[in-house]
Amino acid sequence: MTPPQSDGTATSSTLGVGLLGAAVAVSAWGSTGVIVKALDLDPVAISFYRFSIYSTAVLIYLWLRGARPGLRVLRHSAAGGISLGIDVVLFFTAVKTTTVVNATTIGALQPVIILGIASKFFDEKIRAREVCAAVAAIVGVVIVVSQSSGSPEWNGAGDLAAVGALFAWTGYLVMSKRSAGVITPNEYTFGTGFWTVLVALPLGFIAQQDMSLPHTDQWVALLMLVIVGGLFGHSLMNWSITKIPLWLGSTLTLLIPIVSSLTAWVALDEALSALQLIAMAGVVAALTIIVLAQRQPTPAPPPTAPITSIPTSADEPS
């Protein structure tokens, strides 16, 4: 049977659902920093156990649905999974060694890189007012970072780890978009989790970190991290990114430092200055302008983001 032809646009309803899912995902990611701080585990061990548990849970879900992901899924998720593995190891290292705010806001600078990639390789059309709003949001993020750099928990090496995570995270999102129509979001979530585990395990031993099983009192926080960062973060974003432009999904990650700052202020007593609060309000306002501008259908990814016209069972998050 010949698959239906795409008209090259995303419907407003699809775009709205994708935006909602992406907003929930980035909010979930923003809250994971305080959970990581609560875990008395080495950073690489956190990555290893988090994704071991979650990828196993997704695999069981797929089996129960009758799917049997094999080498094809692992092949198409390899680039994204390796990028994700590097990202989470560096991000958790950053969270453990510098402020939660710094670690997450540096990662949220990703739209600077994604704007160029989305325009050149995905043929996404970005309006001037959206670019201006994104720049304003990024400026607000930079203000939040600069105001945190003098706090007692700041560490330059931790910030460098966050910069490395920024580039790895960019690779992950790009590969997530390219997986559309090739494998389902659930398969991609399982595959990237599998590769993340394979990246984290040897890195843990090379870095001489303690990779032993967590103590009993650590499992509640670890499972919270799996649920919040995995189910409400990675699974939902992997599902949403196939329904919205890549640059838009990336720009929404600027919500991460806002959520992170507020949760760190409430849970960890990390100070926030008046200037930071004003900057965060500016970030929220700029992102609101961008979201409200998404009323018209937007171009779908071209064939370079492979085989988007082939129908899949990718219409439900895990």
Give me the sign of the Cα torsion angle 207, 211, 216, 222: positive
Phi/psi at 241 (5° precision): -65, -20
Q: Which residues pair with 299 in a beta bridge?
A: 9
Find the DSSP H helices in the chain.
Answer: 12-38, 43-64, 71-97, 100-107, 111-121, 128-148, 156-178, 185-206, 219-225, 236-240, 246-252, 255-267, 274-292
In the chain, what's the furthest Cα-to-Cα distance?
Answer: 63
Tens digits of per-residue pLDDT, 260-306? 878 888 877 777 888 888 988 898 898 888 888 775 544 444 444 44
Q: What is the pLDDT of residue 5?
A: 41
- Computed over every residue of the chain, the mean pLDDT equals 80
Tell me which amino acid residue 190 is.
Answer: F
Res 219: pLDDT = 92
What pLDDT, on a 0 to 100 scale, did the predictor assign at position 89? Answer: 79
Under the banding of pLDDT at 50, 70 and 90, the label for residue 317 is very low
- Distance in angstroms between the alpha carbons of the first and the last residue of the chain: 28
Instruction: Record the tokens describing residue 295, joined without a space.
Output: 């009323």
Please count the other Cβ atoms lying within 10 Å of the Cβ belonging to residue 37: 18
Instruction: Specify the DSSP class assigned to residue 307.
Output: T
Cβ neighbors of 238 (< 8 A, separation 6 or more) are 176, 179, 185, 186, 188, 189, 192, 317
Q: Residues 180, 135, 270, CA angle at the centre, nearest 5°?
A: 95
Query: Would you state the pLDDT for residue 138?
Result: 85
| 154 pLDDT more than 80 | no
pTM above 0.85, yes or no: no
Q: Taking residues 66-91, report their average pLDDT.
A: 89
Query: Which range among 53-57, 153-157, 187-191, 240-244 shows the weakest confidence by mean pLDDT?
Result: 153-157
Residue range 1-16: average pLDDT? 54
Percentage of the chain modeled with pLDDT above 70: 83
Of 270, 287, 274, the residue nearest 103 (C-alpha): 270
Give Cα separations from 258 to 20, 189, 226 (angstroms). Answer: 17, 25, 21
Residue 70, helix vs strand vs coil: coil
Residue 220 has pLDDT above 50, yes or no: yes
pLDDT in tens, 113-138: 887 788 777 878 778 888 888 888 88
Q: In whole angstroms, give the CA distance from residue 108 to residue 115.
A: 13
Query: Hey, is 39 helix, strand or coil?
Result: coil
Give the alpha-carbon dihedral of 26, 263, 100, 285, to 10 degrees.
50
pLDDT tens per residue, range 34-59: 888 788 888 888 889 999 999 999 99
Identify which has the larger pLDDT, 82 or 260.
82
> Is it the case that residue 308 has pLDDT exceeding 70?
no
Contact status, residue 163 vs residue 113, Cβ threshold 8 Å:
no
Structure letter (DSSP) for residue 299: B
Higher pLDDT, residue 249 or 3: 249
Burial of 154 (0-12, 13-18, 19+ CB in 10 A): middle
Tens digits of per-residue pLDDT, 164-210? 888 998 888 889 888 888 899 999 999 999 999 999 899 888 878 88
> Residue 9: what pLDDT?
44
Tally Cβ neighbours within 10 Å of residue 123.
15
